[in-house]
Amino acid sequence: DQQVKQNSPSLSVQEGRISILNCDYTNSMFDYFLWYKKYPAEGPTFLISISSIKDKNEDGRFTVFLNKSAKHLSLHIVPSQPGDSAVYFCAASIRGYSTLTFGKGTMLLVSP
Amino acid sequence: DSGVTQTPKHLITATGQRVTLRCSPRSGDLSVYWYQQSLDQGLQFLIQYYNGEERAKGNILERFSAQQFPDLHSELNLSSLELGDSALYFCASSVFGGTSYEQYFGPGTRLTVT
């Protein structure tokens, strides 16, 4: 039973446009969410996070939106750059527990 | 560079064998996590250690075990290997107990069981 779902295995976007990556979760106990980026032959790297007390968190070109009622979060990348091409993993945790539950990832391809 | 190191990078072994994967966490991090990433699968949490003690267990098979040593490095032992154990194994570390839940991942060990 997947508690964190990324339903789009891949996404293609042109350079300069917006990339929107989506993530849904089923466990209402989750209250902290993170996005990780992974390049081939490397481990995932932390990108941005959001606590359930917020509905938006922004860091440069990256913004994460959280809709608790829909149990949905999204990562917006504006403007997208070819260097953003990677696999993006959504992860969730329960405050007080440090373990993370990951989705299967979405491969983003940004073409020039 | 996350500061987390894993050895070896690649490992090829036969079914029925036993292997040990090693992880050194970032300086100052007390928690170590192990994850498995199989083909088309996300990162599956296996086990967490905090300052030498097992803290949480995920989908870890009984054939697998781990430990964290006094110098905080960790080893994941995989025994009676099967073809299905072929995967990328990641180690991550974090400062447990703070407000930061970010985990820092090593580059992974690719295990191939033939």
pLDDT digits (tens, 9 = 90+) for A12-29: 999 999 999 999 999 999
pLDDT at position B113: 97
Going by pLDDT thresholds of 50, 70 and 90, the confidence category of residue B15 is very high
Between chains, do B45 and A44 touch, taking CB under 8 Å as contact? no
Residue B97: closest CA among B34, B28, B46? B28
- Which one-letter DSSP state was computed for residue B25? P
Q: How confident is the model at residue B99 (pLDDT cuts 50, 70, 90)?
A: very low
Decide if A46 touches B, using CB distance below 8 A. yes
B105 vs A32, A45, A101: nearest CB: A45
What separation in angstroms does the CA of A89 have from each of A35, A52, A74, B69, B103?
Answer: 6, 18, 11, 30, 13
Does pLDDT of B1 surpass 90?
no
pLDDT, position A5: 95
Mean predicted confidence (pLDDT) in A99-106? 92
Do residue B43 and residue A4 have CB atoms under 8 angstroms apart?
A: no
A96: confidence class by pLDDT, cuts 50, 70, 90: confident
Task: Name which of B31, B101, B105 is nearest A44 (Cβ-Cβ).
Answer: B105
What pLDDT does residue B42 have? 81
Determine the 3-state secondary structure of B101 from DSSP: coil
- Chain B, residues 72-91, CB within 8 A of chain A, namely 90
Q: What is the mean pLDDT of residues B79-101?
A: 84
Nearest to B102 among A4, A41, A46 (CB): A46
Q: Which amino acid is it at B26?
A: R
Chain B, nearest residue to A103 by Cα: B42
Question: Over the stretch B23-60, which tens digit does the pLDDT of each residue have?
Answer: 999 998 999 999 999 877 789 999 999 999 998 899 89
